[in-house]
Amino acid sequence: MATKRWFTLLRNAAIGLAAAATAASFATPAVADQPPSTNVVGGTRAAQGEFPFMVRLSMGCGGALYTSQIVLTAAHCVSRTGANSSITATVGVVDLQSTSAKKVKSTYVYRSPTYGTATGGDWALIKLASPVTGLATLPIATTSSLNTGSFSIAGWGAASEGGAQQRYLLKAQVPFVPDSTCKAQGGSYGRLIPNAELCAGNVSAGGVDTCQGDSGGPMFRRDDAGAWIQVGITSWGDGCARPHAPGVYTEVSTFASAIADAAKKI
């Protein structure tokens, strides 16, 4: 099965094997010498400063600034909880080759203890060696009230299924897909974990989606006050932007308390 984030159902694999496979599949991406097309899985180029909370991680995943010193990403992007100084976070730019980029090493990783279980929980926290200054953080949803409508996605992942990862940050809009509709697409979608996973995309036509290398990045929308709120974490799916294969995202509100508690301890 071709997969969007390389692995469609890591939660069903042995954790040790998943960790090894993740490390291999999310190797640091090569960046293009020339600007990519503005069309990437139905998206367009993000403007500098448009999403200041976006983070590129050196293992080839995305993330968002949960606090000035903690990045929220996907559990399948990291191998375990513990001290870790091997990850570099690039922040503050849409162009990964920009000389203005801020690069900060990790010091610790917290991996959701429920990831790979029937409970779900594809989320992880990466603590940075020092706080990032001058950049907005991305608050997370604490209730399911925002888990509907149209969502924004962004990342430096592949421009097409199986393609190269990108130098420039790209963005797109994806519509909410109800759990029942998502499960009805069959295959792996039949094993969707309600309340732990959130689907989004154009079910009938496809054409808009996250892709390889976008794992761990945020899915977000405006709240009633117009502020950005993270509602999902790019997790898995079948291919990229295929019809009847929406993207599946960790439902952040379900794990908001666990994320907050873990952040206080690292």
Q: What is the mean pLDDT of residues 169-189?
A: 97
CA distance linking residue 28 with residue 114, whole number of Å: 27
Dihedral (Cα; 160, 153, 265, 68), 10-degree rounding: 110
CATH placement of domain 144-253: 2.40.10.10
Which residue among 79, 106, 152, 215 is the active-site one? 215
Backbone angles phi, psi at 262, to 5 degrees: -65, -40
76 is catalytic: yes
Mean pLDDT of 74-92: 98
Q: Which of 25, 76, 106, 152 is catalytic?
A: 76
| SS (HEC) of 163-224 | CCCCCECEEEEEEEECHHHHHCCCHHHHHCCCCCEEEECCCCCCCCCCCCCCCCCEEEEECC
CATH fold of 14-26+52-137+255-265: Thrombin, subunit H (2.40.10)
Digit-coded pLDDT (tens) for 85-130 = 999 999 999 999 999 999 999 999 999 999 999 999 999 999 999 9
Q: Coil, helix or strand for 256?
A: helix
Is 244 known to be catalytic? no
pLDDT band for position 35 (cuts 50, 70, 90): very low
- Indicate which residue of 122, 209, 214, 238 is catalytic: 122
Mean pLDDT of the chain, nearest integer:
87
Distances in Å between the alpha carbon of 193 and those of 180, 183, 190, 196?
Answer: 11, 9, 9, 6
Please report which confidence band the pLDDT of residue 164 belongs to, taking 50, 70 and 90 as the band edges: confident
Catalytic (active site) residue 122:
yes
- Domain ranges in the chain with CATH number 2.40.10.10: 14-26+52-137+255-265, 144-253
Beta strand spans in the chain (E): 44-45, 54-57, 61-65, 70-73, 82-83, 88-91, 102-111, 124-128, 150-155, 170-177, 197-200, 218-222, 228-236, 247-251
How far is Cα 227 from Cα 221, in angstroms, rounded to an integer?
A: 8
- State the distance between the two ends of the chain, measured CA to CA, in whole angstroms: 37
Strand partners for 110: 125
- For 224, the token pair is 């009633």
